[in-house]
Structure 1
Amino acid sequence: MLSDCLLMITSFLARSMRRRSFFQLAGATAATSALVLTGCGKDDPTPPAGANPNVLTLPAGDVGLLNYAYLLEQLEAAFYQKVLDAKLTDLLPGELAALTDLRDHEVIHREFFKFALLDNAIPTLVFDFSSISFTSRLNVLTAAKKFEDLGVAAYNGVGKLVSSSAYLVLLAKIASVEARHAAFIRDALQPNSLATPDATIIATAGDSTGFNIALTPREVLAAAAPFLPFAVDASQLPTS
């Protein structure tokens, strides 16, 4: 059952999050696959994979919202893999290891949604990063800032739309990791910039910035559109 799979994967995710470096990318799919096969049984269907459709339709309800998060995690994992493949020579000491950790985190998130959704998952997607120059530390970190800030805003915006409290807890656990990513990238670009006004909103009149920005799925997908070589139909997703 899906609930049993979620419990198994959540346990794995919690154990993994206690380690700084989770596991090598080569082992990510195998490790998560073994977990799911153990908890869900051999008769569970395999998630679909293939070429990008002209239009990717996200289904209704919580399944649609989880697929929305899965799309974003696919995007981030693919981006960080491109970063590592670029083999940048101007990274500061420790940054390559940190970026590798970020890639591994996103792989865990991606595989979590893939196997939690099983036959309800959207396909494995290919993205268009041609607008990003993977030639320098500054270019890569600037792009990473956009992706991480967008991811945090997406999770902040989707929480109120989820009807299952169990799903909400899981999304919150991932959101907290994404927020740490965003803070790290911001500090790498500009020290002590983790809470600048472009990422936060005023709590009340006269207060300093205290809350992260929240965006709706439509706002997030519009911002991500330059990297999606296909249209996304989000009309069935909950709006309240």
Structure 2
Amino acid sequence: MSKNTNPQQNEGGLLKSLGNPMQRRTFFRYAGATAAATTLLLTTSCENEDDITPPMDGAVDLGSGDVGILNYAYALEQLEAAFYTAVVAESASVLSSDEMMVMQDLKAHEIAHRELFKTALGQNAIPALEVDFSTINFKDKNSVLQTAKTFEDLGVAAYNGAGKLLTDTGAGLDYLLLAGKIVSVEARHAAAIHDMISNNSRAYGEVLIDANGLDRAMSPTEVLGAASAFIKTEIDFSNLPQ
């Protein structure tokens, strides 16, 4: 897998530009600027959290409380960033130019999310995880799109399920706001991938959206169980709030 690089962030003229129509190819510049501003707040908040406990039996311990939830999100963003980095590096021969442009955007967004959590967590951040994409054929379009669908749908459900686990009535509200901003981006990603697979039929079905028009939510146990097939590093999430 090629080495990830941090995307460039352009904060110039952000506030003035918010009122203008946003072109798809410039979306990441705004996302990066927002992430940089939010990091300043979260870094200060995380410094007051308890240190992550030592890993059990060699596993990476996500920790407890709000720090544990942030590390949980960080782990998922690491996985998504690694996947789209591999797609951009290896799948150009099976994706159209338009599809590859979307994948490049998704890669940039997921790297931004990953770096945001890493910076916000500071010394409390878990180490880089080792991924396992041996079951993915990056030279097969269906394999790439179906895996992307799995990751994006899982990401949306993960954020939906994690919000209620934040406990700090002060900083926790800031984390919740951040999660709300990120899950909306993840949902846009999921919609884009679903449209690629179904030729824009936009058929999401009851599996994702219930009769009340609400998206599904999944617990960390469910999400990490589903993601474990793609992560070599053993993760201890026993200290996460339930």
TM-score, reference length from structure 1: 0.76
Alpha-carbon RMSD across the aligned residues, in angstroms, is: 3.3
**Match in the other structure for 1:77:** 81
Shift of 1:22: 5.6
**What is the CA-CA distance between 1:225 and the residue it aligns to?**
0.8
State yes or no: 1:200 paired with 2:209: yes
1:173-192 superposed matches below 5 A: 173-190=181-198, 191-192=200-201
- Aligned equivalent of 1:94: 98
Match of 1:236 among 215, 232, 239: 239
Paired residue type of 1:198:
V
What is aligned with 2:218?
Answer: 215
Unaligned runs of 5+ residues in structure 1 are 1-8, 45-52, 204-209
Given the alignment, which residue of 142, 152, 155 partners 2:156?
A: 152
Structure 2, unmatched stretches of 5+, are 1-8, 48-56
Q: Which residue of 2 aligns with 1:106?
A: 110
Using the aligned pairs only, state the percent identity.
45
1:199 Cα deviation (Å)?
Answer: 1.5
Q: Kindly indicate whether residue 229 of structure 2 is the aligned counterpart of residue 226 of structure 1.
A: yes
Displacement after TM superposition at 1:124 (Å): 1.2
CA contact (8 A) 1:21 1:104 kept: no
Q: Distance in 2 between matches of 1:200 and 1:63?
A: 29
Q: Which residue of 1 aligns with 2:54?
A: none
Question: What is the deviation of 1:135?
Answer: 1.0
CA drift at 1:93? 4.0
- The CA deviation string for residues 73-93 of structure 1, in whole angstroms up to 9 with x for no partner, is 000000001111113323234
Q: Deviations over 1:88-133 (max 9, x none)?
A: 3232341111100000000000000000001010001220000111
Aligned residues: 207
Give the equivalent residue in structure 1 for 2:179: 171
1:88 and 1:137 in contact (8 A); partners too: no
Letter in 2 for 1:184: A
Q: Tell me the distance in 2 between the aligned counterparts of 1:56 and 1:126.
A: 11
User: How far apart are the structure 1 equivalents of 2:123 and 2:24?
Assistant: 31
